[in-house]
Amino acid sequence: MPLKECFDKEISYWKAVITEPIEISALDKIYILEPVDKWSVGETLFNRKYSCLEHPGCVQCCLAFHGFFQKSLLPQGVIEKIELLNHSSIIAKIKDIKIEYLIAGGATEPEFMCPLNDQETGSCPIHKFNPISCTFPLVNFRYMKRGEVSGVTFCQKTFGRNWLVQCPVEFEQCKTFEEFDAHVLWRFRKFEIYMNAIGISHRASELVEFIADEAQKFYTAKPKKKQMRNEKERKDKLDERYEGGLW
């Protein structure tokens, strides 16, 4: 995938949390991002507990993709590792803010594989620090506009970052808030750290709270739904008895 498209993906996440329009210049391109008016959560966000690291060898999302690593967030050891891998870097500018990204992987490699993937274990050794687009391969920020109102829905999809390749893994559902927290919510916390490092005004911490609240509602609503179903079953039974002339 071309370098620019990979960077488009990286900054597509910013739009969900910026508080004012921004202009980013990077890779000889000007990106103009407008904040969105509304957030919502799709039920599919709770559908999968997942960590790609639990499925070593699945590298579908690492194929043909350039990783953009915000340098200020990387431990020295990781910087050295990337620098050993024929890395290049870019500077993204927003007014007087400059953000340095190290780039690894992409189409320069013979097998189109991100070189940070450990060939022996088939896993990513720097998962905690990897690009934000590697954090959200199945979590989707779906942007839409209805009339004058723009919004983003946070959901999960079954396709990884390489759009044409369906994720082959059968994931379990997050059954509790704690599972959701450990498998999905942490990704949004990492996003907050990532946005803090950029140095622009943003609402990522609010987004973490929003997602957590929606998850709490989802997990506490379940018994209610069950109760409602029970209520309905009880009523259906009563109706049956009535129809059967038992009254």
The site for ligand SF4 (CB under 6 A) is made up of: 52, 55, 58, 60-62, 65, 67, 105, 114, 116-117, 124, 130-131, 134, 137-138, 160, 167, 169
Q: How many helices (H) and strands (E) does the chain have?
A: 6, 8
Q: Least distance to ligand SF4 from the beta carbon of 178, Å?
A: 22
Measured from the CB atom, the residue of 66 and 203 that comes closer to ligand SF4 is 66
Q: How far is the CB of 138 from ligand SF4 (least distance, A)?
A: 5
Collapsing DSSP to helix, strand or coil, 96 comes out as coil
Structure-token pair, residue 83: 């620098």
We find the least distance from the C-beta atom of residue 64 to ligand SF4, in angstroms, to be 10
**Dihedral sign of CA atoms 172, 173, 176, 177 in order:** positive
Minimum CB distance to ligand SF4 smaller for 57 or for 245: 57
User: Residue 77 is encoded by which pair of tokens?
Assistant: 């050891």
Can you list the positions of beta strands (E) in 81-223?
88-94, 97-105, 139-146, 149-156
DSSP track, 55-71: STT--GGGBT-EEEEEG
Q: How far is the CB of 144 from ligand SF4 (least distance, A)?
A: 23
Q: Which two tokens stand for residue 106?
A: 């992409």
Minimum CB distance to ligand SF4, residue 160 (Å) = 3
Q: Describe the crossing of helices 186-198 and 204-243 by its angle, rounded to 10 degrees.
A: 150
C-beta closer to ligand SF4: residue 138 or 185: 138
| Smaller CB separation from ligand SF4, 31 or 65 | 65
Closer residue to ligand SF4, CB minimum distance, 7 or 39: 7
